[in-house]
Amino acid sequence: MGKGATVPMQTSLPKAAAELLEQREFGLLIGGRQRTAGDGSTRDVIDPSTEQVIARVPEATPQDVADAVDAARRAQPAWAALGLRGRADVFEEIARRVVEHREEFAILDAVDAGNPIRAMRKDLEHAVQSIRDWPRLALSMQGATIPASVGNLHYTTHEPYGVVGRILAFNHPALFAITRILAALVVGNTVVVKPAAQTPLSALAFGATIADVVPEGVVNVVSGGAATGDAITTHPIVKRIGFTGSLATGLLIQKRAATVGAKHVSLELGGKNAMIVFPDADLEQAVAGARKGMNFEACQGQSCGSTSRIFVHDSLHDEFVDRYAASVEEITVGPAYNDGSQMGPVISDAHHERVSSYIRSARDDGARLVTGGGRPATLDTQLGYFLAPTIFSEVRPEMPVAREEVFGPVSSILRWSDYEAVLEQANAVEYGLTASIWTNNLHAAHATAHRLNAGYIWINDTTTHYWGTPFGGFKNSGVGREESVEELYSYCEQKVVHTILDDSTEAFGLRV
Ligand code: NAD
């Protein structure tokens, strides 16, 4: 069990969070106005640190979604006509509002997602930076002139789809609600965004905060679960959907979208990401990279990019295991809104059980539990969905804990000695989101990067998303790329325009 500091548990929310929840009205944002669900439905929001219901939020009905899409459709032409400069001015106002309210959003993420507040403050810093960065990046978008015929002009433009639907995962609620709409907006689309059912608070608060700085209908926020998401997916006006979540839901969304027409659906899905430690790796840095790569201290390991399969060369294996265990045992697990907590609880009771079932199966399959494996001994209550950072060694590639996305604080170490075999094992999962290579041999590093089937590869690093570089996965980790100019183009339709510059249509090789 963890040796982190003993954490006095609170069974009620701290004052700042309680006041915030009392003062704030968590309404849907539709057409610039906050409102309840059309049929009055609500959903309980649970604090995973205490298991208490802390708020009730509207559960948007299909009619609410239809109203949101309609508001977005009406707002879109004027938003597009503002031009990039006009939209950049609105983005600057959004950035100011987020700066003003960032502590509030961080608290809300701590209370409904269970992510440590110190990590959520960092998320908000990234969000503000991102709001300011997208208009700059959009200025670099380019069309082409193409020499397709003699004496004429053929050029391309990029035009917004219209109304974009954005459906989000639970693990970085405010960061996603704010940043995952920006690429669509900056190129002239309007959006209907749905936060995850478990973590709606910061998205609804964000909607309320920007309602008077964004033209009405440009951003619409609808909270709800699968039925709300399905209403966005199957709305015929929503031609472009951006989804962040699990493989199973992503595949369902592709199918459901196709029932109403040809839609552009991009998917940011799961990962089962490999980290490979070579014999010449700097051991201390590799251990630090492994701890950071698990995202224990950002979101309890509930991250698509977590490097949760660590292949360590035989020559370093035992020392790596000892040092890695000692490092994660220092992590203080406790209520997410305590400044001293470095790691909070996982998202829900059901998810706690799911992660625990992988821990049980790894033990049953003969993996060695090095540390963790259950509730941290340092907690003085049985409330909250807490798990200690958990490390298994002697994991074999065929075990479920080494093949499937656990999406929790469980790290698997596999021993290797044969280079071809480790590459084969690293690639032998259905996902291909990130990978991490630890060596000082330049040739080995790049040769390995070349042969790994993953979309985002670090050499002697983990975790960090470098904004401006395309993020996304191979295989079942998704379709499309985000956080880069590629994402901007993905929110546009491309158009080609042919201009006849002389009076001879023969130049095309055909007569019309
Ligand atoms: P999830 O698939 O359960 O839910 C994601 C979203 O889809 C939620 O908003 C949910 O309400 C909605 N949804 C559920 N059923 C739906 C349906 N039938 N139609 C439309 N919408 C529906 O995923 P989750 O548990 O919130 O998130 C965890 C998963 O997300 C993990 O697999 C993780 O790897 C992945 N993820 C990927 C990235 C990435 O960038 N690749 C980032 C974060 C999370």
Neighbours of 233 (CB within 10 A): 27
- Which region holds residue 162: left if phi is over 0, alpha if psi is between -120 and 50, else beta? left
Please, what is the Cα angle at 352 between 435 and 272, to 5 degrees?
15
Buried b / exposed e along 6-42 (16+ C-beta atoms within 10 A): ebebbeebbeebeebbeebebbbbbbbebebbbeebe
Q: 320 pLDDT exceeds 80?
A: yes
Determine the distance separating the centroid of ligand 1 and the alpha carbon of 476, expressed in angstroms.
14
- pLDDT interval class at 281 (50, 70, 90): very high
> Structure tokens of 98?
């987020």
* Nearest residue by C-alpha to atom 8 in ligand 1: 196
DSSP letter, residue 120: H
Q: 1 pLDDT exceeds 50?
A: no
> Which ligand 1 atom sits closest to the C-alpha of 225?
11
Determine the distance separating the centroid of ligand 1 and the alpha carbon of 113, expressed in angstroms.
14
Instruction: Kindly report, residue by residue over 408-432, the tens digit of the pLDDT.
Output: 999 999 999 999 999 999 999 999 9
Q: Give residue 185's pLDDT.
A: 98
> Which ligand 1 atom sits closest to the C-alpha of 168?
9
Identify the CA nearest to 76 among candidates 232, 231, 217: 217
* Nearest residue by C-alpha to atom 16 in ligand 1: 226
- pLDDT interval class at 10 (50, 70, 90): low
Annotate 248-284 with three-state secondary structure: HHHHHHHHHHCCCCCCEEEEECCCCCEEEECCCCCHH
Instruction: Kindly report, residue by residue over 211-234, the tens digit of the pLDDT.
Output: 999 999 999 999 999 999 999 999
304: annotated active-site residue: yes
Determine the distance separating the centroid of ligand 1 and the alpha carbon of 261, expressed in angstroms.
22
Q: Give residue 99's pLDDT.
A: 98
268: annotated active-site residue: yes
> Which ligand 1 atom sits closest to the C-alpha of 167?
9
> Which ligand 1 atom sits closest to the C-alpha of 247?
32
Identify which of 259, 304, 405, 469 to mutate to test ligand 1's pocket (most ligand atoms within 8 A of the CB). Answer: 304
- Which region holds residue 266: left if phi is over 0, alpha if psi is between -120 and 50, else beta? beta
Alpha helix segments (H runs only) across 42-188:
62-81, 83-113, 117-138, 173-179, 182-186
Buried b / exposed e along 168-177 (16+ C-beta atoms within 10 A): bbbbbbbbbb
* 131 vs 321: CA distance, rounded Å: 40
> Which ligand 1 atom sits closest to the C-alpha of 172?
43
Q: What is the reported pTM?
A: 0.96
Q: 11 pLDDT exceeds 70?
A: no
Identify whether the C-beta of residue 343 lies closer than 8 Å to the C-beta of residue 332.
yes
> Structure tokens of 351?
């998810």
Determine the distance separating the centroid of ligand 1 and the alpha carbon of 89, expressed in angstroms.
32
Task: Measure Cα distances from 364 to 169, 274, 391, 395, 398 in Å.
Answer: 31, 23, 15, 11, 13
> Which ligand 1 atom sits closest to the C-alpha of 250?
2
Instruction: Kindly report, residue by residue over 340-376, the tens digit of the pLDDT.
Output: 999 999 999 999 999 999 999 999 999 999 999 999 9
Identify which of 171, 243, 256 to mutate to test ligand 1's pocket (most ligand atoms within 8 A of the CB). Answer: 171
| Strand extents, DSSP E, 324-450 | 368-371, 390-393, 410-416, 431-432, 434-438
Task: Measure Cα distances from 380 to 50, 353, 384 in Å.
Answer: 12, 20, 11
Residues contacting ligand 1 via CB (< 6 Å): 167-171, 194, 196-197, 225-226, 229-230, 233, 244-246, 249, 252-253, 268-271, 304, 405, 407, 433, 478
Average pLDDT, the chain: 95
Determine the distance separating the centroid of ligand 1 and the alpha carbon of 12, expressed in angstroms.
29
Give the distance, in angstroms, between the CA of residue 459 and the centroid of all CA atoms in the same chain: 22
Q: Give residue 15's pLDDT.
A: 86
Q: Give residue 2's pLDDT.
A: 40
Q: Give residue 436's pLDDT.
A: 98
DSSP letter, residue 331: P
Determine the distance separating the centroid of ligand 1 and the alpha carbon of 483, expressed in angstroms.
18
Count of all residues that appear for the chain in the document: 512
* Nearest residue by C-alpha to atom 36 in ligand 1: 245
Q: Give residue 13's pLDDT.
A: 80
Percent of residues, the chain, with pLDDT higher than 70: 96
**Residue 325 phi, psi dihedral angles, 5° rounding:** -60, -45
Determine the distance separating the centroid of ligand 1 and the alpha carbon of 167, expressed in angstroms.
8
At position 202, the amino acid (one-letter code) is: S
Instruction: Kindly report, residue by residue over 291-301, the tens digit of the pLDDT.
Output: 999 999 999 99
> Structure tokens of 381?
């209550």
Say which of 59, 268, 405, 487 is annotated catalytic. 268
Say which of 59, 104, 304, 405 is annotated catalytic. 304
| Strand extents, DSSP E, 322-374 | 368-371
* 229 vs 195: CA distance, rounded Å: 9
